[in-house]
Amino acid sequence: MAQIGLRRFRYGEYHVNSNGVEYYTSPATLAGAISSSVSLNIAEAKLHADDVLKDKIAEFTDGTISLGIDEDDDAIFAPLLGQSTENYTVGTGQSAKTTTVYKSNVDDVPKYVGFGQVVPKRINGAQKWKVEWFPKVQFKPYHVDANTKGDSVEFGTPSVEGTCFANKNGDWRKRATFDTEDEANTFLDSLFVAEPSA
């Protein structure tokens, strides 16, 4: 099987209600998907006895997810990073124009989100669609580098990084493969379970 693309970065804010039930806000698009990589931190322990290896444990502790995106829209990322806003007005009278200013502060606390993506694949010559979903991710503050234009034009694209955690049930990832893209998209959005009604 071979991966032949990447699409549909979806996220929803992660919450736990007063009854301890986990839920998410309605899923939305984070940004256009360019690249995605995940590295895991695994805690390992070995037990030796009678001069031989008797047992071994390898457990997930956390992970890092790195995303290449086409746009770091402040209206999306600032709330996820726990940043605040203020208004700035340019001009006076009828020509006045108000702009939203996004502020980064040392006391900002990034929110937890669920995050998922769809990976197109070829399996035995057939097109398939794999969903990868992480139930609890916290993105880190970031800065986008910029360069002047030279003799040739190049796109500069941002990247963001987050930490993957296990949720209350101990789940840290879900995966499933589907025959159609519509099925994959429907399944991905279904993972962002809404807050249960009272």
**pLDDT score for 76:** 93
Question: Which positions of the chain have pLDDT values less than 70?
Answer: 1, 147-148, 152-156, 198
pLDDT at residue number 153: 62
Tell me the C-alpha to C-alpha distance, in Å, between residue 89 and each of 6, 84, 92, 95, 159.
40, 17, 8, 10, 30
Q: Bridge-partner residues for 44, per DSSP?
A: 58
Per-residue confidence (pLDDT) for residue 176, from 0 to 100: 96
Q: Rounded CA gap, 152 and 154, in Å? A: 7
The residues that bridge with 39 in the sheet, in sequence order, are 64
Q: Identify the pLDDT of residue 90.
A: 87
Q: Measured between alpha carbons, how far is 165 from 63 in angstroms, rounded to an integer?
A: 7
Cα separation of 156 and 99, whole Å?
24
* pLDDT value for 47: 87
Q: What is the pLDDT of residue 1?
A: 59
DSSP-derived letter for residue 18 is T
